[in-house]
């Protein structure tokens, strides 16, 4: 039964919280169901097809259809921005999110979606660039820098890492040097740049339009 119930509202969430109550008996016996969720209900931010599934079962199912896109963020300072990009990356079912530099972050903004994908930490840009080289994955920088090409007309590789620099400061010189190409998102108003997590969402969607099936 689909219900609306009060709950703890996280960043970007709106009351009421949508979820399902306890599953009527007899309970399904398939191994992907979580007995605790069946008994108490499922209030998580998951697709309806994953209601009552355990985290492990959801991850196993997502792993069967991971996309070849990956995301990297360099020295982001705001936990909510980090959480937001992780949550969006989960929505696009990317292969991994790479946190380059700063590691510790409050995961509340991710709304626990970090549990459903791989998050990899690289202490330095050098180590991240070496990882990308060893795995033959091009690094695509997204920043409004001199010489950056327009993302709107760009064709992105199916397998790539989209790299985003720190809020405000942007990409470091070392990160710029590691990129195979730089793209910028056109600004049509007076502001020079947009929120970092919003830019990441736009870039992910641009990639998805080129490489994922469209539903009409």
Q: Over the stretch 134-172, which tens digit does the pLDDT of each residue have?
A: 999 999 999 999 999 999 999 999 999 999 998 888 999
Distance CA 8, CA 67 (A): 31
Q: Would you say 51 and 77 are in contact if contact means Cβ atoms under 8 Å apart?
A: no
pLDDT(27) > 80? yes
- State residue 21 phi and psi, 5-degree precision: -85, -170
Residues 6+ apart with CB under 8 A from 32: 53, 54, 57, 60, 61
Q: What pLDDT score does 111 carry?
A: 66
pTM of the model: 0.88
- Number of Cα atoms under 13 Å in the Cβ half of residue 167: 14
Sorted by where each starts, the structural domains of the chain and their CATH numbers stand as: 2-63 (no CATH), 69-211 (3.40.1280.10)
In this prediction, residues 178-203 reach a mean pLDDT of 94
Q: Please, is 90 exposed, middle or buried when counting C-beta atoms within 10 Å of its C-beta (0-12, 13-18, 19+)?
A: buried
Number of H helices, E strands in the chain: 6, 9
Distances in whole angstroms, Cα of residue 34 to Cα of each of 40, 47, 49, 50, 127: 10, 15, 14, 11, 38
Q: Which two tokens stand for residue 148?
A: 């950056």
pLDDT tens, position by position, 41-80: 999 989 999 999 999 999 999 999 999 999 999 999 888 8
pLDDT tens, position by position, 84-122: 999 999 999 999 999 999 766 666 666 678 899 999 999
pLDDT(8) > 70? no
């Amino acid at each position: 039964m689909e219900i609306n119930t009060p709950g703890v509202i996280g960043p970007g969430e709106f009351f009421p919280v949508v979820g399902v109550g306890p599953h009527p008996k007899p309970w399904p016996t398939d191994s992907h169901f979580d007995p605790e969720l069946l008994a108490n209900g499922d209030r998580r931010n998951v697709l309806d097809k994953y209601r009552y599934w355990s985290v492990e079962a959801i991850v196993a199912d997502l792993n069967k259809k991971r996309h070849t896109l990956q995301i990297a963020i360099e020295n982001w300072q705001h936990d909510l921005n980090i959480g937001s990009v992780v949550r969006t990356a989960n929505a696009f079912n990317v292969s991994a999110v790479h946190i380059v530099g700063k590691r510790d972050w409050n995961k509340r903004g991710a709304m626990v979606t970090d549990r459903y994908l791989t998050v990899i930490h690289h202490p330095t840009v050098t180590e991240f660039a070496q990882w990308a080289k060893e795995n033959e994955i091009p690094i695509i920088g997204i920043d409004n820098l001199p010489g950056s090409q327009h993302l709107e007309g760009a064709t992105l590789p199916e397998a790539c890492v989209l790299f985003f620099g720190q809020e405000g400061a942007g990409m470091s010189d070392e990160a710029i040097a590691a990129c195979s190409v730089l793209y910028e998102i056109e600004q049509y108003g007076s502001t020079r740049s947009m929120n970092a997590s919003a830019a990441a969402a736009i870039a992910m969607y641009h990639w998805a339009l080129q490489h994922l099936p469209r539903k009409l």
